[in-house]
Amino acid sequence: MSAADGLKDLPKVDSVLKEQLEGFSTQQLKKTDTSEKATLPSKEDVAAEKQAQAHLQAVEGFNAANLKHTDTNEKVVLPAKEDIEQEKTHQSIFQGVTGFDKSQMRHAETEEKVALPAKEDIDAEKGQQALRQGIEGFNPSALKKTETCEKNPLPTKETIEQEKKA
């Protein structure tokens, strides 16, 4: 394969684009400063990460063979005598209620006795109702107009002198 054969296989470039590419100059580009912004972890972050790694290594490297064997003693606290008696009482009451046989009960008819008030009580209540209706239904327009004349007689000279002497 020659170089000419390799050029035939390449895609054809438009002539306008080819002219622009050949006439390109790097002098036409604007100058810019590139700054790399890579934030490094702080001293505290590094210390915290080291401490976490040390903790994980300590847990992973723990040797269970260094532990001592211990026996656990479970202490059972028994209830007091009063507590046992109280629970037995509650259980017997519960069993008595749940195991109650209704078939042994006798049928009973209930009578409702209505005690009517005495005649004196009825008369007293009727009198109170009539009085209440008279007060509530009072019509002040049915009253007659009256003029009040206040008479205050003055004492005579003789009565004044008698009072002074006394």
DSSP string, 76-124: PPPPPHHHHHHHHHHHHHHHHHHT--GGGPPP----PPP-PPPHHHHHH
pLDDT in tens, the chain (166 residues): 566 666 677 777 788 888 888 888 888 888 888 888 878 889 999 999 999 999 999 888 888 888 888 888 888 888 899 999 999 999 999 988 888 888 888 889 998 888 888 999 999 999 999 999 988 888 888 888 888 888 888 888 898 999 888 7
The pTM for the full model equals 0.23
Q: Which is it for the CA torsion 14, 16, 19, 25, positive or negative? A: negative
